[in-house]
Amino acid sequence: MQKTCDTARRHSLRRLALLPLWGLTTAGLAACSKKAPLATALPAGATVLALGDSLTQGVGASAAQSYPQLLAERTGWNVINAGISGETSSQIAQRLPQLLQAHHPALVIVCAGGNDWLRRQSAQAAQAQIASMLQQCKAQNIPVLLVAVPEFNMAAALTGRVQDHPIYEALAKEEQVPLLAKAWSEVLANDAMRADQVHANAAGYARFTELLVAQLKASGFFNG
């Protein structure tokens, strides 16, 4: 009986002795994972596809003041402005395959949904269309960054409180892609950065570009 108890005691001590080492090991792994970049930095000259609607096209400012142009100047990338004013997520999704084939981008920035909200179209349908865009890029091993767009509605217009539509956070989690959140919401909530209720002015596009570059750095796409 005494021998059995001694053996059990020794086994318990061994387990306790291993616990600190296990904790240090997992802590070290967690620290390494936090420092590891989520993506490989793109070199100067890399082709980046900016996909979207009027916010990407740059309505409310000149072409030189659009965010794709400002991003190109900031990063040295070849940024393709594939924004068309007035398009819904469905229309943008229809253009994507041809754009991918034509440009072979190293990164796609997807900013869609604003016109769906303005036209009171189904959020579920818009979410499915945007998900299809993310999946098309991932299927071709093309990294993608998703940009959240505010939920334009009467309450936002009356109160001035502009917030991202909740589908974007859900999409980023489901599709495991980086998300630029609250950037357009910050810009379009500020009268000094708006050309009208739903478009930025030059100052707004400049601020959006700052926030975008910060997210690109955090995601590992840019190290400049």
Task: Look at strands 144-147 and 179-180 and give their pairing.
Answer: parallel
CA 93 → CA 15, 52, 83, 109, distances in Å?
56, 9, 12, 13
Model pLDDT, residue 17 = 41
Model pLDDT, residue 79 = 98
Model pLDDT, residue 56 = 98
Instruction: Give the SS3 label for residue 33.
Output: helix
Tokens representing 205 are 């596009």
| Positions marked active-site | 54, 196, 199
CA-to-CA distance for 53 and 112, rounded, in angstroms? 6
How much is the mean pLDDT over the chain?
86
Amino acid at 140: Q
Among 31-35, 111-115, 128-132, the least confident range: 31-35
Q: Pick 107 or 10 by higher pLDDT.
A: 107
Model pLDDT, residue 19 = 38
Residue 47: exposed, middle, or buried by beta-carbon count in 10 A (0-12, 13-18, 19+)?
middle
User: Running DSSP on this structure, what letter comes out for residue 176?
Assistant: T
Task: Look at strands 78-83 and 179-180 and give their pairing.
Answer: unpaired
Nearby residues of 77 by Cβ (< 8 Å), 6 or more positions away: 42, 44, 45, 46, 47, 48, 71
Model pLDDT, residue 215 = 98
Stretch 14-18: mean pLDDT? 40
Model pLDDT, residue 154 = 54
Kind plus residue range of the DSSP H or E element containing 67: helix 67-75
Residue 206: exposed, middle, or buried by beta-carbon count in 10 A (0-12, 13-18, 19+)?
middle
| Residue pLDDT, tens place only, 153-163 | 655 655 567 89
CA-to-CA distance for 55 and 201, rounded, in angstroms? 10
- Beta strands in the chain, from DSSP E residues, in sequence order: 47-52, 78-83, 107-111, 144-147, 179-180
Model pLDDT, residue 34 = 37
Model pLDDT, residue 20 = 38
Instruction: Give the SS3 label for residue 220.
Output: coil
Model pLDDT, residue 89 = 98
Amino acid at 139: A
Model pLDDT, residue 213 = 98
Residue 55: exposed, middle, or buried by beta-carbon count in 10 A (0-12, 13-18, 19+)?
buried
Question: Contact, 188 vs 198, CB < 8 A?
Answer: yes
Model pLDDT, residue 155 = 59
Stretch 188-213: mean pLDDT? 96
Model pLDDT, residue 161 = 78
Q: What is the pTM of this model?
A: 0.82
Q: Pick 153 or 22 by higher pLDDT.
A: 153
Model pLDDT, residue 191 = 93
Answer yes or no: is pLDDT of 144 > 70: yes
| Residue pLDDT, tens place only, 82-95 | 999 999 999 999 99
